[in-house]
A and B are shown apart, each in its own frame.
Chain A
Amino acid sequence: MSTSRLGGTGLRLAYDRRVVADELTVAVPDASFTVIIGPNACGKSTLLRALSRLLKPAAGAVLLDGADIHRQPARAVARTLGLLPQSPTAPDGIGVAELVARGRYPHQGLLRQWSREDERIVAESMAATGVADLADRLVDELSGGQRQRVWLAMALAQQTPLLLLDEPTTYLDIAHQIDLLDLCARLHEEQGRTLVAVLHDLNHAARYATHLIAMRGGRVVAAGEPREIVTAELVREVFGLPCRVIDDPETGTPLVVPAARARTGTVLS
């Protein structure tokens, strides 16, 4: 059994009185690239919000390094756990390097505004995400793909061993989606960071994840290595989609191929 710095037990996640998930227990294996998948409104983004301290569980607790994440100071958590939210906003007229530098906030103070270490880490983060050439450009001028890389660079500059990504490929075209996921996989392998991402595309998840958490209706239906858990039965159970699962000819990981429409002519039962 692998160790886990981040996880939750007996979680009840709710917005006001609307309960999204109850009795939820999850663990993020250390040094994994964990991907959470599931149909719309299954509670996957809500789970990520709870894991990142944005949402306080109505019952149960999210544990970070063995202690309740809501009992730890926000700044201390921010030095261990980073998050790239779904739609962050860049202030008007901000430059790329300046935005990436904001990732250093949890490490800074009134008298420690910009150390040599800050400078080095920001440069490294921009190099790792391939945006070093854009350092002096304005964020407003960038394309969607470039902008997402800049945000990722900001999250990297936070230098947290754990990094959470909420649907990082949304609004990107297929080439930029693969580009970003390749980048995430490389960061995971080379820097040894634990990544947790919510993804929409099951095939992306199966290809890139080392650990998959499949959710439906606020429950974890299956969790484990994609090769072991992604089966036609699981996809049918989680998404209600008839399909075949074959080996991805490129990577050997499971590839979900939706079944051709039934000839009887019913649209969807």
Chain B
Amino acid sequence: MIVIRTPGGVSLRLRPRSLVVGATAALLALAVGVLAVGHGDYPMSPADVLRTLTGGGSPAEEFIVTELRLPRLVTGLAVGAALGLAGAVFQALVRNPLGSPDVLGFTQGAATGALVVVVLGGSSATLAGAAALGGIGTGLLIYLIAWRRGVHGYRLVLVGIGMWAILSGVNGYLLTRAPLMEAARAVLWLTGSLDGRDWSHAGPLLAALAVTVPVLLAAGPALRMTELGDDAASALGVSVPRLRLLLLAAAVLLVSLAAAAAGPVSFVALTAPHLARRLTRAPGTNLLPAAIVGALIVVTADQVALRVFPSQLPVGVVTGVLGGGYLVWLLATERRAGRL
């Protein structure tokens, strides 16, 4: 633990290992990003990519980088960061390492919104908007049902899982009602994909991140206090119900807009916080490392999907396989260590 103090009474407390892990993951994500931007029908070396990004490329390179490839990368980074952050918040909210938006029905709600548009027919912008609304609407519904003097972790899990089951059924029904071509498009969307993403996909999510990241980081210390239990946190001066509402709103917003941008990319929200905690070895909730690790996972998975598999594989398939594998490994090792 490093402490920085200034004569003005300002004091900051930093954990060196978390700093190193965070910086390394961020650099890795950027490095993968440079490789990603260089990859495609018109290959570019990392040096060319960096030169173009700093304004020294030809007009053609400029167009390829900023209009074609950068939006996909930025969308991937933003989706990963949003899911990592939201996952860490949900796990803290429900005090359960399995508390992720995939399990609690929020992602299913976004899918329902999107599928309604698929069945009724609509542009991809409408689809994204409907996905966002579906996620936020589900969040609101779960909150209203689970609310009882502030949302209780336990109730949130049970209500969320119930909602997940209902919405899965609804989604299945909607898929059977969709025209065949549209159903194929819907299935692709449901896997989570970064194909053909432009700035209009990245924009809303970046805006949401710009608002929620400072709010969540400011709420971080209070969130850590709730790890001691509601009573202890209240005794330390945390307004627990108000904090819960704020956290839930921020996390639902992030998950919904991430789904709107790339579809429900599975397992990132579940895996990123665990991985971040293991790497930083810091107890409790670590929001920023979870966000950075989430971004790294999504851009890496997207590159793996693009390069290893000849037919374009949606990123959600890779995160699902990797995330699911990781989860099984986690459960197996925790069990062996006697912690589960």
Contact = CB atoms under 8 A, between A and B. Distances in A.
Interface of A: 52-54, 73-79, 81-95, 98, 102-103, 105-106, 108, 110-116, 118-119, 155, 158
Contacts of B218: 110
Interface string B198-229: 00000000000000000000100110110111
B232 A105 contact: no
Interface string B224-260: 1101110110111111000000000000000000000
B236 A158 contact: yes
Contacts of A95: 283
B11 A112 contact: yes
Interface string B251-291: 00000000000000000000000000000010110000000
Contact of A74 (B11, B12, B221, B237): B237
Contacts of B237: 73-79, 105-106
Given A84-B235, A89-B228, 17 more contacts: A53-B234, A74-B234, A74-B239, A82-B235, A85-B232, A88-B228, A88-B231, A91-B283, A91-B284, A92-B284, A94-B283, A102-B225, A105-B222, A105-B237, A105-B238, A114-B11, A119-B3
A116 B284 CA distance: 24
A209 to B, nearest CB: 22
A111 B224 contact: no
B55 interface: no
A105 B231 contact: no
Nearest to A109: B221
Closest 4 CB pairs of A and B: A78-B237, A85-B231, A83-B235, A75-B237
B196 interface: no
B13 interface: yes
B144 interface: no
A94 B221 contact: no
B11 A52 contact: no
24 contacts: A52-B235, A74-B234, A74-B238, A74-B239, A76-B237, A78-B235, A82-B235, A83-B231, A83-B235, A85-B229, A87-B229, A89-B228, A89-B232, A90-B228, A94-B284, A102-B224, A106-B236, A106-B237, A111-B10, A111-B11, A114-B3, A115-B5, A115-B11, A158-B235
A102 B228 contact: yes
Interface string B11-44: 1110000000000000000000000000000000
Nearest to A106: B237
B236 A78 contact: yes
A100 B10 CA distance: 21
A91 B284 CA distance: 6
What's the interface size class on B, roughly? 20 to 34
A95 to B, nearest CB: 8
Contacts of A108: 221
Contacts of A94: 283-284
Contacts of A91: 224, 227-228, 283-284
A105 to B, nearest CB: 5
B59 interface: no
A98 B283 contact: yes
A88 B232 contact: yes
B325 interface: no
A62 to B, nearest CB: 14
B9 interface: yes
B231 A93 contact: no
B229 A89 contact: yes
B276 to A, nearest CB: 13
B283 to A, nearest CB: 4
A78 B222 CA distance: 13
Given A98-B283, A105-B221, A113 B235 contact: no
